[in-house]
């Protein structure tokens, strides 16, 4: 697999010709199962084939159970300079419900060790878990704040089909996810973290000054990116591509110097809809002049008309030239965006 990833980097290097790489992100599963030597080999392949900025952000997603003290120390000596750790919760009952491999003690001990070697750390926390009270959720956030973690990504629990959680809910062993509970948790999250000096620069992402994820910010600002490996997605501003999601077939295709990728060319309407969707989730909002300039007057008139009711309901603000979700509207941003989508033009 590592050899295939390296070869795909070579096969696709012309896609980023004359482009400066500013972030490298190891994610989409649990890349921390790779040895540090493998990670370094992949990073070196990027440096060998692409032009890299002087101080790139290099992130590794990891689970606490993969981060032994030896692994943390080795990573600290590598080019990796940011860790995104899947804590999910500091409570044992939540972790068992989500079938996590680590326990609550390991979660906290892992962060204590990581902090000795890394400054740029992000953790994931999940809210909306069945039977999670507001008090317990607040305790989760307070624990992260007390550990002085500079970036937190937090998402509502979603029940995926064919999982143990889905089975428990179907059998009545566990309560189903409650949207009202999730919304209450979201507001507690926002208020607590903002009071602690975090900025909600995207609905699910909170960072202290200087600790916004440069990689994820690029997605939301619709910058070009390349995804390497099975299931990885790419975007060049005009087209979206995604690799096959079968490991053996991926490896075989790459060994034959073939790119196992499907490609979709985005229409103007696709681009407009994606811009609205990503923009409303962020502090940068949706620029009306950009819509008029890049997509046309029809789109500008449409978004203004569709936005009127949300402005009246104080779910959207019109700040000069920019549409931004209000505090009241942030949890509803995806639904608002879908109502601003253009569906009948190509």
Rounded distance between C-alpha atoms, residue 329 and residue 336, angstroms: 8
Q: Which two tokens stand for residue 287?
A: 């620029």
* 242 backbone φψ class: left, alpha, beta (φ>0; ψ -120 to 50): beta
HSE of 235, CA atoms in CB hemisphere, 13 A: 13
Strand order in the sheet with 121-127: 20-26, 51-62, 82-88, 121-127, 151-156, 205-207, 199-202
**Average pLDDT value for the chain:** 92
Architecture of domain 268-340 in CATH?
A: Orthogonal Bundle (1.10)
HEC secondary structure over 119-147: CCEEEEEEECCCCCCHHHHHHHHHHHHHC
pTM of this structure:
0.92
127 φ, ψ to 5°?
-120, 175
Coil, helix or strand at residue 215 = helix
Q: Distance of CA 301 to CAs 214, 272, 305, 315, 317, Å?
A: 32, 13, 6, 19, 17
Rounded distance between C-alpha atoms, residue 206 and residue 150, angstroms: 8
3-state helix, strand, coil in the chain (%, to 5): 45, 20, 35
How does strand 82-88 pair with strand 121-127? parallel
pLDDT at residue 166, as a whole number: 64
H or E element: which one contains 273?
A: helix 268-279
Contact (Cβ atoms closer than 8 angstroms) between residue 3 and residue 34: no
Q: Give, to the nearest 10 degrees, the angle between helix 333-340 and helix 268-279.
A: 160
Coil, helix or strand at residue 56 = strand
pLDDT at residue 195, as a whole number: 97
Would you identify the CATH topology of the domain 20-220?
Transcription Regulator spoIIAA (3.30.750)
For tokens 């995604």, the residue is 242
How does strand 121-127 pair with strand 239-243? unpaired
pLDDT below 50 — which residues of the chain? none
Return the DSSP state at 258: -
293-331 residues labelled b (16+ CB within 10 A) or e (exposed)? eebeeebbebbbebbeebeeeebbbeeeeebbbeeebbb
Give Cβ neighbours of residue 30 (< 8 Å, ≥ 6 apart). 61, 62, 63, 66
Helices (H) and strands (E) in the chain, counts: 14, 13
Domain segments of the chain: what residues?
Answer: 20-220, 235-265, 268-340
23 φ, ψ to 5°?
-140, 145
Query: Nearest 10 degrees: CA dihedral of 146, 149, 152, 154?
Result: -40
pLDDT in tens, 285-331: 999 999 999 999 999 999 999 999 999 999 999 999 999 999 999 99
pLDDT at residue 99, as a whole number: 76
């Amino acid at each position: 697999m590592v050899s295939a990833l390296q070869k795909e980097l070579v096969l696709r290097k012309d896609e980023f010709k004359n482009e400066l790489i500013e972030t490298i992100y190891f994610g989409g599963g649990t890349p921390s199962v790779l040895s540090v030597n493998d990670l370094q080999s992949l990073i070196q392949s990027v440096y060998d084939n692409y032009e890299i900025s002087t101080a790139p952000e290099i992130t590794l997603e990891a689970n606490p159970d993969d981060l032994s003290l030896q692994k943390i120390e080795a990573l600290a000596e590598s080019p990796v300079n940011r860790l995104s750790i899947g804590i999910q919760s500091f409570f044992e009952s939540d972790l068992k419900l989500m079938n996590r491999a680590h326990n609550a003690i390991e979660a906290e001990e892992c962060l204590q060790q990581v902090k000795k070697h890394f400054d740029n750390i992000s953790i994931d926390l999940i809210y909306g878990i069945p039977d999670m009270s507001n008090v317990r959720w607040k305790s989760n956030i307070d624990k992260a704040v007390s550990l002085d973690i500079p970036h937190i990504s937090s998402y509502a629990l979603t029940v995926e089909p064919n999982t143990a959680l889905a089975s428990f809910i179907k059998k009545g062993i566990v309560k189903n996810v409650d949207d009202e509970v999730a919304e209450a948790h979201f507001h507690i999250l926002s208020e607590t973290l903002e009071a602690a000096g975090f900025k909600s620069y995207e609905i699910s992402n909170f960072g202290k000054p200087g600790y916004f994820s440069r990689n994820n910010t690029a997605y939301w600002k619709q910058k070009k990116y390349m995804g390497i490996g099975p299931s990885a997605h790419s975007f060049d501003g005009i087209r979206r591509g995604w690799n096959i999601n079968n490991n053996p077939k991926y490896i075989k295709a790459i060994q034959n110097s073939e790119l196992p990728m499907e490609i979709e060319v985005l229409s103007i309407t696709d681009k407009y809809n994606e811009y609205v969707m990503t923009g409303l989730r962020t502090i940068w909002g949706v620029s009306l002049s950009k819509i008029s300039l890049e997509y046309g007057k029809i789109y500008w008139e449409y978004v203004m008309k569709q936005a009127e009711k949300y402005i009246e309901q104080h779910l959207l603000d019109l700040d000069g030239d920019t549409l931004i979700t209000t505090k009241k509207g942030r949890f509803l941003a995806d639904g608002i965006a879908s109502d601003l989508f253009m569906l009948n033009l190509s």
